[in-house]
Amino acid sequence: MTARCLLFVPVLLLMGCPSGAIDTEPIGAPGVSIDQIAIYQGVKRTLMADGGIQDSEVPLVAGRDTLVRVFYSTDVDYDGGEVYARLTLGDAVIESTPYVLLGGSADDDLRTTVNVEVDGADVGDILDWSIELLQDGEAGDANPGARFPDSGTVELDAAGEVNVLRIVIAPFAYNFDGSGRVPDTSPEQVERIRETFLKLYPVSDVEIRVREAQPWSGELQPSGEGWIGAGISLLGFRNADGEGEDVYYYGMFNPTETIGQFCSQGCLLGVTLLNDSPEDVGSPSLRLALGVGFAEQAPLVAAHEIGHAHGRAHAPCGPPGNQPDGPDPEYPYSDGSIGVWGYDIVEGELRPPTDTDIMSYCDDQFVSDYTFAAFHRRGQNVNLGWSVPMPPRTWDVITIDGEGGAAFAASVERRAGVAGEAVDVTLLAAGGAATAAVGRFLPYDHLPGGWLLVPRGELTAVGAEFVVGGRFIQVSR
Ligand SMILES: [Zn+2]
C-alpha cells in the first residue's frame, strides 16, 4: 500500500502515513509487453509487429480522425492494476483512458487493446510517434519494454495532403406520376449520407451541398429506362452552377413512395459512367452519378455510385442471380470481402474482414484496404484541385442506348482531354461536307450503352456516323 499513499492523503493522514513513503510516478507498466501497434482510419494499418516497424499499402490520411490500438501481453509481474497508453505525436501528447488489462489482445475486440483516439487535427503531414503503456508506480519498478520504439520516435509520412471530398446533391421532384415527390434531403438525412462517405472514403472531411429540387416529368423505371436523360440534366447543372472540377454531382429521385414498390420486380438503384480513364483522375465531366433517394438505401447507394465516378469497378460479390457485371479483375479477395479488419471512425466500431466492399452488390458493405487505397489515390489527384493549362474545348455528348439508338444530348466545355475508348467519327455538316474526328466512348456501369463525347469542329455538325459495340450508328442533331 505504500505506493498508493499519496493518492489517499486525507485518509492516510488520519491513519498516519508511514515515514519514508515512496513517491509514485508514471512508469513503463511492469509485466506488460507491446506486441503490436496498429492505426485505424477505416482499415487496419499495422505500424509495429513483433518488435519491428511494418510497411503497408494502406495510406496514412492527413487530417483524418484515427484510432491507435496497442496490442499487449502480460506476465506474472503485471499487478492487475490500471494501465494507460501515452501516445506522443510530435509536440502533442495524447493519453488513453485507463484499462485493466485482460489476458491478451485480439483483433476482434476493442476491449482487449489499449486504445488512443486521435483527433484528425493532430494527424499532420508527418506522424512522428512513440507510444508507452504506463502505470503509476515506483521508478525502480519501471519496465522499459513497455515502450515503442525503445527511445526516440518513429517517423511516418502521410500519403498526401489534407483533402476534402465535395459533393452536390441534386434532388429531382418526380412529376411523371403527378406527385412531385422529392427524396429526403433534411439536414438529418444529409448528415447520414455525409457520415457514410466520411467512414468509407479516406479523406479529411466531406462537404455536401444540396441544390434546389428540379422538376422531372419523364418516367424513371426500375430497369434504368429514362435515367439517362436525368444524367444529362445533371451534367447541365454542373455547367450552370460553375462549381469546381473536383465537385461530384449526385442526382437523387424517388420514382415511387417506397423501395418495395420500386423494386418489386428487381431494380436498378443507381447508374454512373465508370470514370476510370485516365487512371489517375478520370474525366471531370464524369464526376457525377445518379441514384434512388429512399431514405434507408440512399447513403450506401450514393457511396457506391460515387465510387464508380472515382473509377472503381465492381468487387466480385452479389446475391444469387445478381452478380455484378464486369467485376474488377484486380480486386484482391475473390468473395468481394473487405479482406482486412475495418474500423468505422464515425460509429467507433470494428468491421470484420468478412464484410463486403462498398463496390459489391452484397450486404454488410464497408471498405476494403484495396478500395480505400484506390479512393485515396483518386482523392489526392482530384480533391486538391486539378487544372491543366489548356484552352477550353467544346465536346458534344451523344447518348447511345443498348439498341443502337443515339441522340445529341448536351455539350460540355473541358480544358483537359477527355478519356475513354477512341472511336472514329464522321461528322456531317449542313450541305453534306464530312469531316473526321476522334470521339471518346464512356460506357455506363449498370446499363448497356453510354456516352460518346465528340470534339466540336469549326462547323457545328448536323449529324454523325460511327461504330460503337460493333454496331454502325447514325445520329442527327
Ligand atoms: Zn455499381
Q: Which whole number is the average pLDDT over 382-408?
A: 76
Ligand 1 center from residue 361 Cα (angstroms): 7
Ligand 1 center from residue 201 Cα (angstroms): 16
Per-residue pLDDT at 7 = 38
Give the C-alpha separation, 89 to 129, whole Å: 5
Per-residue pLDDT at 177 = 95
Give the C-alpha separation, 43 to 341, whole Å: 6
CB atoms within 10 A of CB 267: 16
Give the C-alpha separation, 239 to 242, whole Å: 6
Q: Which whole number is the average pLDDT over 221-244?
A: 88
Per-residue pLDDT at 22 = 66
Ligand 1 center from residue 268 Cα (angstroms): 9
Residue 15 has pLDDT above 70, yes or no: no
325 burial type by CB count under 10 A (0-12 exposed, 13-18 middle, 19+ buried) = exposed
Q: Using 50, 70 and 90 to split pLDDT, how confident is the model at 444?
A: confident
Residue 384 has pLDDT above 80, yes or no: no
CB atoms within 10 A of CB 58: 23
Ligand 1 center from residue 383 Cα (angstroms): 22
405 burial type by CB count under 10 A (0-12 exposed, 13-18 middle, 19+ buried) = exposed
Q: Using 50, 70 and 90 to split pLDDT, how confident is the model at 11?
A: very low
Cβ pair 226, 270 in contact under 8 A: no
Residue 178 has pLDDT above 90, yes or no: yes
Ligand 1 center from residue 414 Cα (angstroms): 26
Per-residue pLDDT at 13 = 39
What are the extents of the domains in the chain?
27-157, 164-382, 393-476
Q: pLDDT, tens digit, for every residue of 335-372?
A: 999 999 999 999 999 999 999 999 999 999 999 999 99
Ligand 1 center from residue 405 Cα (angstroms): 23
Q: Which whole number is the average pLDDT over 454-476?
A: 88
Q: pLDDT, tens digit, for every residue of 252-303?
A: 999 999 999 999 887 889 888 888 887 888 888 889 999 999 999 999 999 9
Per-residue pLDDT at 14 = 40
Q: CATH class for domain 27-157? A: mainly beta
Residue among 366, 381, 63 at smallest CA distance from 206: 63
- Least confident interval from 5-14, 51-60, 111-120, 250-259: 5-14
Write down how long the chain is: 477
Residue 21 has pLDDT above 80, yes or no: no
Residue 390 has pLDDT above 60, yes or no: no
Q: Which whole number is the average pLDDT over 3-28?
A: 53
297 burial type by CB count under 10 A (0-12 exposed, 13-18 middle, 19+ buried) = middle
* Fold observed for domain 164-382: Collagenase (Catalytic Domain) (3.40.390)
Q: Are strands 393-400 and 406-414 parallel, antiparallel or unpaired?
A: antiparallel
Residue 155 has pLDDT above 70, yes or no: yes
Q: What is the pTM of this model?
A: 0.81
Q: Are strands 164-174 and 214-216 parallel, antiparallel or unpaired?
A: parallel
Per-residue pLDDT at 419 = 63
Ligand 1 center from residue 302 Cα (angstroms): 10
Per-residue pLDDT at 190 = 97
- Least confident interval from 24-38, 55-69, 167-181, 448-462: 448-462
Identity of the residue numbered 18:
P
Residue 388 has pLDDT above 80, yes or no: no
What is the share, in percent, of the chain residues with pLDDT greater than 90? Answer: 65
**Where is pLDDT greater, at 443 or 258?**
258
Q: Which whole number is the average pLDDT over 145-169?
A: 91
Per-residue pLDDT at 387 = 40
Bridge partner residues of 442 (DSSP): 451
Q: HEC states along the chain?
A: CHHHHHHHHHHHHHHCCCCCCCCCEEEECCCEEEEEEEEECCEEEEEEECCEECCCCCCCCCCCCEEEEEEEEECCCCCCCEEEEEEEECCEEEECCCEECCCECCCCCHHHCEEEEECHHHCCCEEEEEEEEEEEECHHHCCCCCEECCCCCEEEECCCCCCEEEEEEEEEEECCCCCCECCCCCHHHHHHHHHHHHHHCCCCEEEEEECCCEEECCCCCCCCCCHHHHHHHHHHHHHHHCCCCCCEEEEEECCCCCHHHHCCCCCCCEECECCCCCCCCCCHHHCEEEEECCCCCHHHHHHHHHHHHCCCCECCCCCCCCCCCCECCCCCCCCCECCCCEEECCCCEEECCCCEECCCCCCCEECCHHHHHHHHHHHHHHCCCCCCCCCCEEEEEEEECCCCCEEEEEEEEECCCCCCEEEEEEEECCCCCEEEEEEEEEEECCCCCEEEEEECCCCCCCEEEEEECCEEEEEEC
Cβ pair 334, 471 in contact under 8 A: no
Per-residue pLDDT at 329 = 96
Ligand 1 center from residue 312 Cα (angstroms): 9
Report the first-to-last Cα separation within the chain, whole angstroms. Answer: 91
**Where is pLDDT greater, at 293 or 158?**
293
Q: Is the dihedral of CA 131, 135, 139, 142 positive or negative?
A: negative
Per-residue pLDDT at 2 = 34
Residue 413 has pLDDT above 80, yes or no: no
Which among 31-40, 315-324, 430-439 has the top mean pLDDT?
31-40
Ligand 1 center from residue 357 Cα (angstroms): 11
Domains 27-157 and 164-382 are alike in CATH topology: no
Identity of the residue numbered 49:
A
Q: Using 50, 70 and 90 to split pLDDT, how confident is the model at 435?
A: confident
Ligand 1 center from residue 290 Cα (angstroms): 11
Per-residue pLDDT at 8 = 37
Per-residue pLDDT at 19 = 47
Q: Which whole number is the average pLDDT over 406-426?
A: 79
Q: Which whole number is the average pLDDT over 241-258?
A: 93
Ligand 1 center from residue 366 Cα (angstroms): 14
